[in-house]
Amino acid sequence: MISCQWCEELADDDRDEVLALVAAAAEYDDEAGFSRIEPRDVTARSRKGVRVSHLAVKARRGLSALEDVPLVVVAYLHLAVDDEGLGTVQFVVHPDYRSRGIATLLVEEMGLDVDRPDGWMGTGARALRTWAFGTHPAAERLTRRFRIASVSRLWTLFRSLTGPFAAPLDPVDLPQGTVLEEPRGLDDPASEKALDDVLGRAGIPPVQLEKLSESRAHGAGSVIVASGDAGRPRGFVWLDPSLHTHLELRASWIRALVLEKESRGGGLGAGLLVRALEVLRDAGAQIALMRIDPDDEGAVRLCRLLSFEQEDAHTCYQVGDWHEAPGYL
């Protein structure tokens, strides 16, 4: 019913079909907030420290049983394996072929054996991990059937900025000697220097720093920096004022909020977050969205105090042993 073969780089025809597939899936899944694969991942090649493999899953058009019906790409899997054999998986099925057993059949045919000498399916991966964003029933059914363990969670929170459900954005008293700078572009040299300075003193796990660095390289928006004595950056909030439709409302994202260790617990995080919400509101957003780790008690408490509500949950699934905490933005 399906056919597929691993490759280091997709052939031209397959690449074009996969690019069309991920674009169709991204548009279809946008409002639901499901996982999406970026076009740059489809064209990615192996690099130092990371081995990239692509899998274009094909079937007869319409899942026909007739041999004269042409093959088309119905799903795509992207695998990135680091030097330690830890494999990060991204997978998507074309919207026209969902709920028809494609993912289940693929797992049944390929298996999940990561204990072979050459790793999973000869890719070198001795452990696999993937994020499923949104409460996707297909992901829940698949992982339950094959007993794939969940190892971490994220929440998407929302906060009304206008309308009858919007709580006031009350001013926050900042720590003495601290000022919030005007928003600057994410790619502004001063922003990059300030972010690197704060991140160097934030005590964030290396996997988180790597994920944030990757997201910055491809991200957009602006940064508000909190500076203290002698202009030393003490924290920042990264926001993206660009508008998109979410639940029929104009929405914008807060991408990251980071403080240096010694500046936590004094109101600086609340001050940065309130200022970011003001900027998004003034840019026309009706709601603000952000993601947090529900096990981070400080982040949960802060967001509740600022009238954020939980909107969705996301799950990281894992096969094999991988002791490092999952990375997320």
Q: What is the mean pLDDT of residues 238-255?
A: 94
pLDDT for the residue 173: 92
Q: At residue 123, does pLDDT exceed 90?
A: yes
pTM of the model: 0.88
Average pLDDT, the chain: 93
Which of 224, 239, 220, 225 shows the shortest CA–CA distance to 283?
Answer: 239
pLDDT for the residue 324: 83
Angstrom distance (rounded) from CA 183 to CA 295: 30
Which CATH number, 3.40.710.10, 3.40.50.2300, 3.40.630.30, 3.30.1330.100, labels domain 156-314? 3.40.630.30
Q: At residue 329, does pLDDT exceed 70?
A: no
> What values do phi and psi take at 306, rounded to 5?
-100, 20
Q: At residue 269, does pLDDT exceed 80?
A: yes
pLDDT for the residue 328: 65
pLDDT for the residue 246: 86
Domain boundaries, given as residue ranges, for the chain:
2-147, 156-314
Same fold, 2-147 and 156-314: yes
Q: What is the mean pLDDT of residues 177-191?
A: 95
Q: Which of 42-46, 199-203, 204-208, 293-297 has the lowest mean pLDDT?
A: 204-208
User: What share of the chain in percent tops pLDDT 90?
Assistant: 82
Cβ(290)–Cβ(157) under 8 Å?
A: yes
Angstrom distance (rounded) from CA 103 to CA 30: 20
Q: In sequence order, what are the residues at sequence separation of 6 or more whose Cβ sits closer than 8 angstroms to the Cβ of residue 220?
A: 186, 240, 242
Which CATH number, 3.10.110.10, 3.40.50.300, 1.10.1750.10, 3.40.630.30, labels domain 2-147? 3.40.630.30
Q: Tens digits of per-residue pLDDT, 213-244?
A: 889 988 999 999 999 988 899 999 999 999 98
Q: At residue 85, does pLDDT exceed 70?
A: yes
Q: What is the mean pLDDT of residues 170-194?
A: 94
Cβ(271)–Cβ(277) under 8 Å?
A: no
pLDDT for the residue 134: 83
Which of 100, 103, 121 shows the shortest CA–CA distance to 5?
Answer: 121
pLDDT for the residue 299: 93
Q: What is the mean pLDDT of residues 203-217?
A: 87
In 10 A of CB 40, how many CB atoms?
8
Query: What is the token pair recorded at 37?
Result: 């694969």
Which of 215, 213, 220 shows the shortest CA–CA distance to 199?
Answer: 213
* DSSP per-residue codes, 136-171: -HHHHHHHHHTTPEEEEEEEEEEEE-SSTTPPP---
Q: Tens digits of per-residue pLDDT, 287-314?
A: 999 999 999 999 999 999 999 999 989 9
* DSSP per-residue codes, 59-79: EEGGG---TTSPEEEEEEEEE
Q: Which H helix or E strand runs over 252?
A: strand 249-259
Q: Tens digits of per-residue pLDDT, 156-169?
A: 999 999 999 999 99
